[in-house]
Each structure stands twice: as structure tokens, then as C-alpha cells.
Amino acid sequence: MRAAGSNPDQGPAADSERIRARRAAFAALHHHDAEPLLLPNAWDHASAAALARAGFPAVATTSLGVAASAGFRDGARHTRAATLALARALGDGPYLLSIDAEDGYADEPEDVAEFARELADAGVVGLNLEDGRADGTLTDPVLHAARIAAVKAAVPDLFVNARTDTYWLDVRTEETMGRLVRYREAGADGVFVPGVADAARITELVKGIGAPLNVLYRPGGPNVRELGDLGVRRISLGSLLYRIALGAALDAAESIRQDRSVAFDAPAYAEVQALAGEDGVS
């Protein structure tokens, strides 16, 4: 098995140039005026590979999917090792990989920066850092800005998506703009406000930040085109695909138990096998 993020046919200099080019390509996806970046979230190798085969140039991870798969609660700092292991498994895939790193799994900026270095060594091109805590409170914005600055100092071309959970946790929403401006000044390449859905508020954020705005897709809410028209440059699916997959599995099992027909379009066994390479990581 080759090292994640490496190319066995080229030397270190060429490989470094390749990684820099991939990070630049990911950043560029946030600046297309024609359409926003729709970023689906994977939870394992098969889901990431399937999304790439479906034509998605970039894939992120879902912290809920990673945590639930390992038997942990999301957002509780239990999945640093699992997240890094997944990054190493996915980092050299045929897609641009961004990692949902919760709050960086640490308080101290230097510890978050060290985790970012490890992710970068795995071939990761982007990182999502949130200011929400598992207890429903928000990290002090000065501390979160320091984490962002430390990551950018450690890996300057890693795309840092600074997430504020003011709307997600429904606390201190009046601080949203101030937090985002502070994170942007600390070096964040983009900002993420999950939970915001009001068109006027989205437009206000787009105009006030000066960085690509990322929102979370919500079924029944504005579609991709409508969000793009508002100025949104990145749309994340978060844990939605993972939860849909889990729901489909439960629905199929219950249908079989109740002797009902199972209506679904599942990939064939051979198709799933084909998602893995000969060494198991493609």
C-alpha cells in the first residue's frame, strides 16, 4: 500500500507540486460564479469512491458518520484517531478531500495545527473547523481565531473553512457576523454557517464577509440554484447522505420482515467490489 498523498512514479518535489495543485484546484472551486460547489460528505472509502464515480470532483467527510460508525457521539472529541485514519485511507483518492475536524479535537492552537499537519501529510486539501462545543456552547471567538491562524501558519495552502454554530445551536446568533469577520481576519479561506436559511440573512452574510460562504443543504429549503443566486459559494450535505443510507437500510430490513416488496436501487455486489483497488484502497 502506498503512502497517502504520494505518487509512486514521481519524486518528492513533483509530489509536493501535485499536492499544491490539488489544494489550489479545491480553492478555485469556491470561486466559480456560474454555480456553487456542491460538496457531498462521505463516511468511508466506499461512499467516497462512489461519489467520485458519480462525478463529484470534491468530497468531504461527515463527523457524525465517522463517529457513529465507530460507536461514538458526534462532537465529543472521541474520533481524532478515526478521522485521521479515514483521511489516510481517502487522501490519495480520485477527488479533492476536505475533512470535517470538529473543533480540531483540542483547545490549544498548536495542537490543532499539529492535527492539520497530519491531515495535510495524508493528502487532504481542506479542513472544516467549528466553534460549537458538545455541551451546546460556543468556543471563545478569540481562541477559535487563534486555532485558525495556527493552522494557516502550519499549512498555508490548506483550505480552512471556519464554521460558526450560532445558528446550528441557536445561541448568540447576533454574534454571527462578528465571529465570521474575526475568523476571516485570522486567515480562514471560507466561512460556514450551518442552520442559516433566511434569504435576506444569507445575502447579508455574503456581502459582509468577503469570503466564500458555505451553508448546509436542507431538504425543503432553497435548492442549489437558488442558493447560488443568493451568493452562496459552497453547499454541504453534512450527515444527510449517511442518515439517508441508514434509513434505507432500516426500511429495507423492515420491509423484508413484513413480507413487503423492497423498492430500492442498490448497487450490485460487483459494483461495490469495484470501488476498491487491488490493495483495498484504490
Q: What is the pLDDT of residue 1?
A: 35
Does residue 94 contact residue 52 with C-beta atoms inside 8 Å? yes
Confidence of residue 263 (pLDDT cuts 50, 70, 90): confident
Residue range 50-105, pLDDT digits in tens: 999 999 999 999 999 999 999 999 999 999 999 999 999 999 899 999 999 999 99
What pLDDT is stored for residue 262 in this prediction? 87
For residues 232 and 214, the answer to whether their CB atoms sit within 8 Å is yes
82 assigned to some structural domain: yes
**Is 168 inside a domain boundary?**
yes
Q: Is residue 1 part of a domain?
A: no
pLDDT confidence tier of residue 147, bands split at 50, 70 and 90: very high
| CA pair distance 39, 27, nearest whole angstrom | 13
The secondary structure of residue 278, as a DSSP letter, is: T
Instruction: Count how many domains the chain has.
Output: 1
133 within some domain:
yes
Mark residue 124 as left, alpha or beta (left: phi above 0; alpha: psi -120 to 50; beta: remaining).
beta
Give the CATH number for residue 137: 3.20.20.60
- Look at residue 176 and tell me if it is in a domain: yes
Does 248 map to a domain? Answer: no
Residue 205 lies in a domain: yes
> Distance (Å, rounded) from C-alpha 27 to C-alpha 211?
11
Distances (CA, A) of 174 to 22, 170, 177, 208: 36, 10, 7, 14
In degrees, to the nearest 5, what angle opens at C-alpha 116 toward C-alphas 239 and 92?
Answer: 70
Give residue 264's pLDDT. Answer: 75
> What pLDDT does residue 10 have?
58
Average of pLDDT values for 17-38? 95
Interhelix angle 109-121/141-154, rounded to 10 degrees, is 40
How far is Cα 148 from Cα 192, in angstroms, rounded to an integer? Answer: 13
Domain that includes residue 212, residue range: 12-241
The answer to whether position 161 is within a domain reads yes
In this prediction the pTM is 0.92
- Is the separation of the CB atoms in 232 and 36 below 8 Å? yes
